[in-house]
Structure 1
Amino acid sequence: MTERELFDSYNKDVYKTCFYMLRNAQDAEDLCHDVFVTIFRQDWSRIEHIRSWIMRITMNHCLNLLRKNQTQRQKQSEVQMFHEQNTATVKPVDAIVMEKAAAKEWEELLSQLPDKLMAVVTLRYIGELSMAEIAETLKIPVGTVKSRLHKALKIIRQKLEHNKRYLVKGENQFGAY
């Protein structure tokens, strides 16, 4: 496999992971570039599980940047939306609005998670990695992956229930329009 073939094969996965971890298109693009620079500087042709290795490098780069910019990450007010380039069907406007609202809520929930939990959720649901691949990527046991994923989903579920109760309470308080 040539460098170009490697880049073409994994560029979208690396960018998508960077984007969901950083929630900023420009930072994700820059970090994606840095990841491939790191990969090409190493003897990647001898790596047995190349996808897991690349995703581990990607997560390490993301987590390092997040640690560096912890205060900046907390101050972000707007979340940029990531759309797949190959959208074949035209959707009704109300469906697009609902998708954007759901995506924004998901992004806000993810941003409230600790970095370790956010990394596992991102790799599982955005990167579509298996538990074993996540464990290999983050260099942690599969049991730790499962417990972090469980804890993250529990936190997200609690926040969703809290938001739902808040909305219902708010509707009762102010009445219908």
Structure 2
Amino acid sequence: MMKEWIPIPGSSKDKILKVALEEFGTKGYKGVNITALATKANMTTGAIYHHFGSKANLYEVIKNEMEQRIVDRMEGVISVFEQPDQGLESALITALKFAVEINICKLLSDEGTNLTPDKITKYLSGFDINNHMPISIVLISSWRSILYSISENIITLEQGIALIKWIFNKSE
């Protein structure tokens, strides 16, 4: 089944989504001005409201799609390990590299609107290691902190990867 919001390439909805991904990806929810976004997309704010209803709805469409792409990558990596929790380190590193590659670190670390449950948190919460200790709480907050730190140029991707590896070495 095709998702309702998938736009026709080159349509106004497509242009809005592309610009919105870039803007929310680098500035987060609070940093995006809907008028500036419309101008950058060569659209009116009315076109954005027509297609998405609000800035929050547009943000949720973008964030949900990016979170699903991250979860899909994590699932793919984890599937090659005998025990799913063994693949968490590799999955988080793969997801981090992807987030940096498409410039969505700020988006994924952003609190945003909290209109819908976070797909990545939901997915990672299913993995508890070390005798069922809820380590996912630490992993989720650490991963988001690493994303935020990369988005703010506090650390590099390589430092983020090293931090994930350090966390897993400490958790054994």
Query: TM-score with structure 2 length normalisation?
Result: 0.28
Computing the radius of gyration over CA atoms, which structure comes out larger, 1 or 2?
Answer: 1
Query: TM-score with structure 1 length normalisation?
Result: 0.28
Query: Which structure features the higher share of helix residues?
Result: 1
